[in-house]
């Protein structure tokens, strides 16, 4: 009975806590979307790593030449139902450090023959600054020795690209696709990496948690009252009769 009485209160508190998290998440996404609207900034020649968190999701411009020999493939990735990989290549800057560019998606048909024709000389990349991804329980561990990458581990990728000795900084930029769906399809059919859309892709599951906890609270409250009423009306609990 006590447990049944506590349940509605407990689940209600959890629902309220998730509601707070939901508000926080919505604010965060709004903030990032505003940041994304700002003019792209040129990436400094030497990036101050401690300020990266403030600049996540900012659009950046960067010039250099790709170091194709150190390309790393993030797999498996899916784009509009097509299976493939993301192509990560270090970009060497004449007057600055080398950073990592996620050039985008290539379908499995082109994995062994990624088309880099247009990207052999100096290129200017428009991208979005990102950090390492949180791995979930189902993500296998990366195996850099075998060239197997499942999640973005910026530190490890920078190391694999040559690390400090080769002037590589753990800075990760996702290339943005400028243009429309037709441009993306042309690139896809030629095996040229297709960059991402400039959008905020944060997960926001808090609303479903709010609904779940509040529903549970209402349900257990109902249970509590039914049991409570049953007990009061049950024959064993009736007042003794005196006639």
- Name the pairing type of β-strands 82-92 and 98-107: antiparallel
Quote the least distance from Cβ 61 to ligand NAG, whole Å: 12
Of 50 and 234, nearer to ligand NAG (C-beta) is: 50
For residue 188 the two structure tokens come to: 């896809």
The DSSP H or E segment spanning 184 is helix 181-190
Of 123 and 221, nearer to ligand NAG (C-beta) is: 123
Of 94 and 141, nearer to ligand NAG (C-beta) is: 94
Whether the link from the prior residue into 76 is cis, omega within 30° of 0, is: yes
According to DSSP, residue 163 is labeled T
Contact residues toward ligand NAG (CB under 6 A) are 48, 50-51, 63, 94-95
Quote the least distance from Cβ 50 to ligand NAG, whole Å: 5
Quote the least distance from Cβ 63 to ligand NAG, whole Å: 6
Quote the least distance from Cβ 44 to ligand NAG, whole Å: 10
Do 175 and 101 touch, CB atoms closer than 8 A? Answer: yes
Radius of gyration of the chain (CA): 27
For residue 69 the two structure tokens come to: 């020999």
Of 94 and 145, nearer to ligand NAG (C-beta) is: 94
Quote the least distance from Cβ 49 to ligand NAG, whole Å: 8
Q: With the CA atoms of 176, 102, 68 and 148 taken in that order, what torsion angle do they form, in degrees rounded to the nearest 10?
A: -150
Of 50 and 136, nearer to ligand NAG (C-beta) is: 50
């Amino acid at each position: 009975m006590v447990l049944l009485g506590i349940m509605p209160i407990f689940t209600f508190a959890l629902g309220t806590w998730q509601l707070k998290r939901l508000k926080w998440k919505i604010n965060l996404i709004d903030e990032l979307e505003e940041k994304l609207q700002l003019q792209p900034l040129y990436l400094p020649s030497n990036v101050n790593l401690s300020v990266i968190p403030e600049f996540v999701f900012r659009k950046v411009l960067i010039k250099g030449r790709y170091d194709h020999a150190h390309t790393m493939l993030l797999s498996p990735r899916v784009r509009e139902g097509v299976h493939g990989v993301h192509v990560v290549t270090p970009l060497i800057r004449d007057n600055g450090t080398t950073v990592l560019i996620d050039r985008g998606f290539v379908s499995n048909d082109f994995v062994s023959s990624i088309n880099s024709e247009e990207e052999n000389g100096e290129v200017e990349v428009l991208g979005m600054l990102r950090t390492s991804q949180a791995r979930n329980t189902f993500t296998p561990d990366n195996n850099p020795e075998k060239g197997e990458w499942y999640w973005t581990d910026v530190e490890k990728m920078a190391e694999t690209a040559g690390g400090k000795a080769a002037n590589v900084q753990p800075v990760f930029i996702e290339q943005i696709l400028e243009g429309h769906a037709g441009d993306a399809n042309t690139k896809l059919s030629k095996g040229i990496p297709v960059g991402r859309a400039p959008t905020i892709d944060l997960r926001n599951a808090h609303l479903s948690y709010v609904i779940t906890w509040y529903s549970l609270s209402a349900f257990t409250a109902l249970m509590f009252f039914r049991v409570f009423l049953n007990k009061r009306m049950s024959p064993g609990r009736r007042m003794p009769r005196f006639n």
